[in-house]
């Protein structure tokens, strides 16, 4: 049994264990969201590993270690990459993605808006240096990618929600 928050124990007969990364665990309705996400994954024949910290109160270090154990136990990671507390994805989710990639796990990210970063941030430019800049004057990558290249290159991105990520996983499995 995998001992991680959110009921990450293994169930026989399910094809893939999916670690669900993202800021959804901070939602006011996180417990209800988790039930729906688990049901959606189960209906697709998979097990959802969801790190709901409040289900198992612990220290920050214990939560961190437990989440890494869940990622290690997962076959793949589905990551909510919608902006969280700003214009970028949740920083904890980005760490989880990096760890999963380092372990060789497949990662499918999803977001509601996958327009190029330059468009989403309403970057001005190009300036005299040929570069685009955000409202604070920082250079905005202009590779036509929806997110920073360190996410957009290694992560399969899908527009939409968890459903879109599950469809992408099904397509990958069928290929």
The structural domains of the chain, with segments of one domain joined by +, span 16-174
pLDDT above 50 (res 2): no
10, pLDDT greater than 60: no
pTM (two decimals): 0.89
Tell whether the model's pLDDT for residue 5 goes beyond 60: no
Mean pLDDT of the chain: 90
Mean pLDDT of the region 100-112: 98
User: Rg of the chain over CA atoms, in angstroms?
Assistant: 17
| pLDDT (0 to 100) of residue 12 | 46
pLDDT at site 53: 57
Q: Hey, CA dihedral for 50, 54, 58, 61, is it positive or negative?
A: positive
Q: Are strands 16-21 and 46-49 parallel, antiparallel or unpaired?
A: parallel
- The CATH number that domain 16-174 falls under is 3.40.50.450
Strand, helix or coil for residue 133: strand
Residue 83 confidence (pLDDT): 97
């Amino acid at each position: 049994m995998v001992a991680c928050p959110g009921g990450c124990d293994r169930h026989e007969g399910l094809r893939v264990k999916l670690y669900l990364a993202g800021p959804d665990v901070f939602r006011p309705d996180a417990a209800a969201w988790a039930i729906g996400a688990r049901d959606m994954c189960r209906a697709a024949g998979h097990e959802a590993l969801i790190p709901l910290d409040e289900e198992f109160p612990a220290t920050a270090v214990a939560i961190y270690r437990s989440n890494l154990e869940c990622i290690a136990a997962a076959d793949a990671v589905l990551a909510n990459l919608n902006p969280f507390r700003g214009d970028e994805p949740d920083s904890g989710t980005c760490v989880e993605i990096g760890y999963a990639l380092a372990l060789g796990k497949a990662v499918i990210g999803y977001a509601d808006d996958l327009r190029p970063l330059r468009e989403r941030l309403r970057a001005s430019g190009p300036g005299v240096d040929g570069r685009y800049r955000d409202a604070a004057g920082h250079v905005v990558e202009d590779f036509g990618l929806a997110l920073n290249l360190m996410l957009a290159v290694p992560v399969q991105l899908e527009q939409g929600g968890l459903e879109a990520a599950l469809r992408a996983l099904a397509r990958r499995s069928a290929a």
